[in-house]
């Protein structure tokens, strides 16, 4: 019953506003729920239904849910081996899709043709996102369509979601005795309703905690699994306190100051990743060891964020016992160990002194060889390595370290990565998939990350170190008192974003759809920034931005310059659409310099530089011809690699960047530019094919 309720609440008003029929049909023979990632399923259905309503002007939209025996691609590894498959079919009587476009619409920034985005709006990202989410759930999306008659998108999912490799593990562990109650988790199709009250639904130990007790806060909304975790915690010597959602957990953690936390990533009121991030950025809670509970293998990402360990569902009792035993051993161990590998003696001693406390034993070395030998001898809790190692580069050190048995367990903080060339950066990115690696560019950031991985309580650090960290975390004065509008149709996202903004002294207001967002923007003149969800039903984020800006510019007697953001833009339309790219370039140039084109106040010169990046020489020449009228230096690059070389050599007022390039594409190029401190504020305009 939850699925019809969810789609009715989300789309009934949309259907009424457009004068369309809307039917939801769920086959009677289906079970009450399926085991899957409810949040991802919700997003896929929202994307598919949003598209159906957007491209249907008359007639009806239908959602059918039924068991399926076939229909997906032959040989699909998950669907072919699933015990049962459920099909979610979104059927509309809209414009339809030509046969030769039915594959390309799943590519990023692609729509049926170049007129689609102009007529209906949107970024062309929805189906691409849906396809990736479907792949993560072990399913597939198929489309059938006739131009002028309508389309049917069918989402096929296994009735029981099994992450890669899980089926073999489950079969190997099969035995005559019944599986424990916590071995499976049944996700309803949609989670609804308010968060659980703070009163525990599980009879835990919160009333029996005494001074000197080891305490673990169990953040888990599945009550059977929470009870199982509580039993294991008690067997491991902990008193356990259960919180069914983030809203209940965060105050409990502050109140109890527990010795450990177990955190489920799938919570009803906040994404588990967001809660982990909040815990690890709060000076009061960042030192508390966290074991993450996940239905898929997220070990590297969790450890990278500062978690102590990861337990993958469905988990055997032994795995839970091992995780909590490891946590207990870590908590009991009075001294943590740190390896500092710096070629510069003065810097090595300075970092060591800043991190030195009674609870940390520091080993300092000056070469890569010494560091590797020390890491082989001792299981360090963290390694800090600088690029100034005398006998090898930091990248070579990491390559050698990655070959050792301890590589996947010891987090590494690497200092001084700003000047790397693209090849070095690529090597580090690949190594980060094997080792737990944090790249930082300031001594303060080294302290921040090292204390995180050592799980050091801030109050136990030396006074000067505490001051440096406090200064680093201090919210910029200019953010305090600023007003932010959050526009998102998911209240959980609004909650999480509001929590973060309020930590910086900002005032957050919100709207749950594009129409209300425009109304708030119009009636609230002192809004300083807008955080806009792109994927919303009826009026998506892209169209909301466009409608508001068009109205604002019309009120001022100006034409719409076709921009989607101040610092990153999309020059859309059917390519080559260079007039839009030029307008974006002029706007971004003026925003960056605060001056008319032709006057570069950044350098004191009368001429600045614009970088144009495109692998198609015809587009390069066409854009060059159009932009010459700005009176600026134009630098051309025909690949992402060449663009990065240009950015290393000089600064640019604005960069026009093709998205679809071989090798290093536009998105990867932009990410690398943003990662570099000297270029992270340079305006980047993406030039897209649609």
Q: Which helix (H) or strand (E) holds 684?
A: strand 684-687
Q: From CA 311, how far away is CA 70, in angstroms rounded? A: 34
The structure tokens listed for 405 are: 């048995």
Q: Which of 101, 104, 183 is nearest to 146 (CA)?
A: 101
Point out which residues pair with 153 in neighbouring strands: 90, 143
CA dihedral angle for residue 656, residue 658, residue 664, residue 670, rounded to 10 degrees? 40
DSSP states along 360-413: EEEEEESSHHHHHHHHHHS--SEEEEETT-SSS-HHHHHHHHHTSTTTTTS-EE
Start-to-end Cα distance in the chain = 39
User: Per-residue b/e over 8-45, b at no fewer than 16 CB within 10 Å?
Assistant: eebbeebbeeeebebebeeeeebeeebbbbbbbbbbbb
pLDDT, position 384? 92
Q: Which of 144, 232, 257, 139 is nearest to 181 (CA)?
A: 232
3-state secondary structure of 500: helix
Q: What is the pLDDT of residues 44-89, one digit of tens each?
A: 888 899 888 888 989 999 999 999 999 998 888 888 888 899 999 9
Q: Which of 613, 662, 604 is nearest to 634 (CA)?
A: 613
pLDDT band, very low/low/confident/very high, at 485 (cuts 50, 70, 90):
very high
Instruction: Summarize the confidence of residues 606-619 as an average pLDDT.
Output: 78
Instruction: Summarize the confidence of residues 251-278 as an average pLDDT.
Output: 88
Instruction: Summarize the confidence of residues 278-303 as an average pLDDT.
Output: 85
**Residues with Cβ within 8 Å of residue 621, at least 6 apart in sequence:** none
Tell me the CATH class for 561-690.
alpha beta
pLDDT, position 630? 61
Q: Which of 658, 645, 670 is nearest to 612 (CA)?
A: 658
CATH code of the region 2-161: 3.30.565.10
Name the CATH code of domain 181-332 (choices 2.30.130.10, 3.40.50.2300, 3.40.630.30, 3.40.640.10): 3.40.50.2300
Q: Which helix (H) or strand (E) holds 66?
A: strand 60-68
Strands (DSSP E) contained in 474-567 are 483-487, 507-511, 529-532
Cis peptide before 283 (omega within 30 of 0): no
**Residues with Cβ within 8 Å of residue 260, at least 6 apart in sequence:** 214, 215, 216, 217, 238, 288, 289, 290, 291, 308, 324, 327, 328, 331
Of 84-88, 113-117, 230-234, 260-264, give the lowest mean pLDDT range.
113-117
Strands (DSSP E) contained in 125-189 are 140-146, 150-158
Give Cα 450 distance to the centre of its chain. 23
The structure tokens listed for 631 are: 């009176």
pLDDT, position 103? 67
**Rg of the chain taking only CA atoms, in angstroms:** 27
Name the CATH code of domain 337-473 (choices 3.40.50.2300, 3.30.420.40, 3.30.365.10, 1.10.287.3240): 3.40.50.2300
* Residue 115 in this model has a pLDDT that exceeds 50: no
What is the CB neighbour count within 10 angstroms for residue 556?
7
Q: From CA 356, how far away is CA 338, in angstroms rounded? A: 10
Q: From CA 104, how far away is CA 113, in angstroms rounded? A: 10
Contact 377, 365 (CB under 8 A): no
- Can you give the three-state secondary structure of 264-283, one letter per residue? ECCCCCCCHHHHHHHHHHCC
Point out which residues pair with 64 in neighbouring strands: 25, 89
Instruction: Summarize the confidence of residues 168-185 as an average pLDDT.
Output: 32
Higher pLDDT, 628 or 304: 304
* Residue 158 in this model has a pLDDT that exceeds 50: yes
Q: From CA 294, how far away is CA 298, in angstroms rounded? A: 7
* Residue 449 in this model has a pLDDT that exceeds 50: yes
Q: Which of 623, 630, 569 is nearest to 600 (CA)?
A: 630
DSSP 448: H
* Residue 470 in this model has a pLDDT that exceeds 80: no
Q: From CA 140, how far away is CA 242, in angstroms rounded? A: 37
* Residue 207 in this model has a pLDDT that exceeds 80: yes
Same fold, 2-161 and 475-542: no
Instruction: Summarize the confidence of residues 481-501 as an average pLDDT.
Output: 81
Q: In what order do the strands lie in the sheet with 684-687?
A: 568-571, 684-687, 654-658, 609-613, 633-637
Judge: domain 475-542, CATH 3.40.50.2300.
Answer: yes
Q: What are the boundaries of each domain within the chain?
A: 2-161, 181-332, 337-473, 475-542, 561-690
Q: Which of 683, 563, 523, 541 is nearest to 611 (CA)?
A: 683
pLDDT, position 365? 92
* Per-chain mean pLDDT for the chain: 77
Contact 36, 137 (CB under 8 A): yes
pTM exceeding the 0.85 threshold for the entire prediction: no
Q: What is the pLDDT of residues 29-47, one digit of tens each?
A: 888 788 887 778 878 888 8
**Residues with Cβ within 8 Å of residue 487, at least 6 apart in sequence:** 510, 511, 512, 513, 514, 516, 517, 530, 531, 532, 533, 536, 541, 544
Contact 364, 385 (CB under 8 A): no
Q: From CA 30, how far away is CA 33, in angstroms rounded? A: 8
Q: What is the pLDDT of residues 508-566, one digit of tens each?
A: 898 988 889 998 988 887 888 899 887 777 787 777 887 877 776 566 554 443 333 33
The structure tokens listed for 364 are: 């300092």
The structure tokens listed for 256 are: 């109890």
**Residues with Cβ within 8 Å of residue 2, at least 6 apart in sequence:** 188, 189, 190, 191, 192
Higher pLDDT, 335 or 500: 335
Instruction: Summarize the confidence of residues 171-191 as an average pLDDT.
Output: 31
Q: Which of 614, 610, 619, 617 is nearest to 658 (CA)?
A: 614
pLDDT, position 557? 52
DSSP 35: B
């Amino acid at each position: 019953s939850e699925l019809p309720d969810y789609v009715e609440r989300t789309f009934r008003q949309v259907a009424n506003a457009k004068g369309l029929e809307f039917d939801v049909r769920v086959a009677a023979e289906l079970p009450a729920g399926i085991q899957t990632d409810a949040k991802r399923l919700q997003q896929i259905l929202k994307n598919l239904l949003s598209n159906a309503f957007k491209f249907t002007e008359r007639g009806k939209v239908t959602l059918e849910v039924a068991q399926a025996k076939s229909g997906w691609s032959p040989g699909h590894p998950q669907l072919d081996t699933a015990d049962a498959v459920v099909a979610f079919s979104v059927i509309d009587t809209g414009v339809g899709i030509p046969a030769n476009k039915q594959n390309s619409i799943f590519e990023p920034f692609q729509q049926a043709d170049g007129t689609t985005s102009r007529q209906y709006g949107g970024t062309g990202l929805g189906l691409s996102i849906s396809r990736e989410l479907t792949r993560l759930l072990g399913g597939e999306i198929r489309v059938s369509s006739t131009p002028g008659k309508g389309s049917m998108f069918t989402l096929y999912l296994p009735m029981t979601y099994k992450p890669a490799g899980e089926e073999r593990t489950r079969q190997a562990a099969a035995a005559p005795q019944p599986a424990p109650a916590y071995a499976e988790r049944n996700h309803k199709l949609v989670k609804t309703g308010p968060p659980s009250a703070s009163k525990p639904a599980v009879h835990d130990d919160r009333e029996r905690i005494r001074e000197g007790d080891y305490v673990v806060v169990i953040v888990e909304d599945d009550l059977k699994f929470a009870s199982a975790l509580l039993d294991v915690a008690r067997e491991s010597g902990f008193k356990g306190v259960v919180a069914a959602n983030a809203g209940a957990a965060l105050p409990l953690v502050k109140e109890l100051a527990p010795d450990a936390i177990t955190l489920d990533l799938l919570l009803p009121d906040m994404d588990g990743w967001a809660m982990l991030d909040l815990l690890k950025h709060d000076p009061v809670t960042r030192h508390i060891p966290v074991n993450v509970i996940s239905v898929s293998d997220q070990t590297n990402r969790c450890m990278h964020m500062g978690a102590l360990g990861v337990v993958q569902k469905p988990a055997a009792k032994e795995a839970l016992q091992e995780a909590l035993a490891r946590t207990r051993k870590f908590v009991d161990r009075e001294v943590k160990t740190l390896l500092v590998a710096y070629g510069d003696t003065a810097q090595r001693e300075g970092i060591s002194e800043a991190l030195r406390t009674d609870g940390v034993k520091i080993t300092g070395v000056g070469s890569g060889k010494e560091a590797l030998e020390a890491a082989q001898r001792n299981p360090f809790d963290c390694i800090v390595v600088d690029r100034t190692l005398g006998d090898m580069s930091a990248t070579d050190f990491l390559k050698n370290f990655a070959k050792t048995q301890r590589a996947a367990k010891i987090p590494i903080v690497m200092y001084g990565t700003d000047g790397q060339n693209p090849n070095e950066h690529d090597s580090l990115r690949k190594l980060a998939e094997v080792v737990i690696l944090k790249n930082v560019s300031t001594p303060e950031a080294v302290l921040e990350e090292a204390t995180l991985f050592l799980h050091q309580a801030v109050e136990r650090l030396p006074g000067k170190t505490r001051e440096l960290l406090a200064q680093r975390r201090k919210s910029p004065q200019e953010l305090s008192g600023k007003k932010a509008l959050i526009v998102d149709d998911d209240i959980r996202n609004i909650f999480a974003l509001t929590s973060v903004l309020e930590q910086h002294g900002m005032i957050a207001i919100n709207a749950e759809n594009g129409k209300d967002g425009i109304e708030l923007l119009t009636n609230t003149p002192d809004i300083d920034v807008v955080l806009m969800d792109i994927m919303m039903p009826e009026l998506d984020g892209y169209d909301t931005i466009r409608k508001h800006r068009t109205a604002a510019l019309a009120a001022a007697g100006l034409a719409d310059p076709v921009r989607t953001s101040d610092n990153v833009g999309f020059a859309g339309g059917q390519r080559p659409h260079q007039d839009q790219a030029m307008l974006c370039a002029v706007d971004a140039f003026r925003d960056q310099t605060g001056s008319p084109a032709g006057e570069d106040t950044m350098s004191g010169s009368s001429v600045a530089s614009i970088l144009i990046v495109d692998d198609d020489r015809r587009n390069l020449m066409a854009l060059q011809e159009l932009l010459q009228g700005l009176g600026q230096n134009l630098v051309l690059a025909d690949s992402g690699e060449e663009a990065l070389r240009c950015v290393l050599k000089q600064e640019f007022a604005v960069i026009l960047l093709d998205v679809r390039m071989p090798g290093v594409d536009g998105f990867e190029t932009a990410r690398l530019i943003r990662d570099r401190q000297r270029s992270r504020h340079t305006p980047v305009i993406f030039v897209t094919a649609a």
